[in-house]
Amino acid sequence: MTGVFVYSTIAILALVAIAWLARERSPGAGGRTRDMASAQRTGLGVPGNGQFLKISDRIFDPGDFVWLRDAVGRRDLARQLAASRQRLAVQWLRTLRYSFNELLRTPQPAPLQGNADSAQGSWELLWLTARFHLLLAYAVSAVRIFGPYHRLVPSPNWRRFLPEPASPKRRFSTVN
């Protein structure tokens, strides 16, 4: 009887999910447009220009945070700044995803069937797409869990994970 319950539940969930997903939307509408509008409202700019990348340098740079925490000694403000930068970092990554998906949505006529080179190229493009989304999912999770100032790829130098004594000279060093 457990099997009946499991399969019936899966069937009902699949039907509900498909009915929900099948609702026709205008192209580009929905959450991604909201992401983009929100990004523009928060001043993140539009992906694809130099300013967008400069903003990412600023968001992920722990200099201000370290200065507030160590040089000024305002840990509460430093925590607020980190929380705000964390939100901005997630927003920046979402905007990057929006821009990437916009690139994916660029239509082109399908090639003639049986073209082996074209098929090979299509698989390579799919790999680049999948790789980007995997990296992005990892980056969003890491930022959400550890914050924007944590090293997203663990360093081989294990000593960097240990707390170091505060020093004004570390104004532009990394936190972790």
Give the binding site for other proteins (CB under 8 A). 1, 3-4, 6-8, 10-12, 14-15, 17-19, 21-22, 24-25, 27-28, 30, 32, 48, 53, 56, 60, 96, 99-110, 119, 121-126, 128-129, 131-132, 135-136, 138-139, 151-153, 174
Output DSSP code: residue 149.
T
Residue 174 burial class via C-beta count within 10 angstroms: exposed 0-12, middle 13-18, buried 19 and up: middle
- Cβ 94 to other proteins shortest distance, Å: 13
Shortest reach from residue 99's CB to other proteins, in Å: 8
**Cβ-contact 42, 34 below 8 angstroms:** no
Query: How far apart are CB 76 and other proteins at their closest, in Å?
Result: 26
Cβ closer to other proteins: 71 or 135? 135
Taking the least distance from each CB to other proteins, the nearer of 112 and 162 is 112
Helix, strand, coil distribution of the chain in percent, nearest 5: 70, 0, 30
What is the smallest separation between the CB atom of 137 and other proteins, expressed in angstroms? 11
For residues 77 and 174, which CB has a smaller minimum distance to other proteins in the complex? 174
Tell me which H or E stretch contains 138.
Answer: helix 116-146
29 or 83: CB nearest other proteins: 29
- How would you label 99-109 residue by residue, b for 16+ Cβ within 10 Å and e otherwise? beeeeeeeeee
- Least distance to other proteins from the beta carbon of 73, Å? 26
Cα separation of the two ends of the chain:
52
> How many residues are listed for the chain in this entry?
176
Nearer to other proteins, 12 or 83 (CB): 12
Alpha helices, H only, the chain = 2-21, 31-41, 50-60, 63-66, 75-104, 116-146
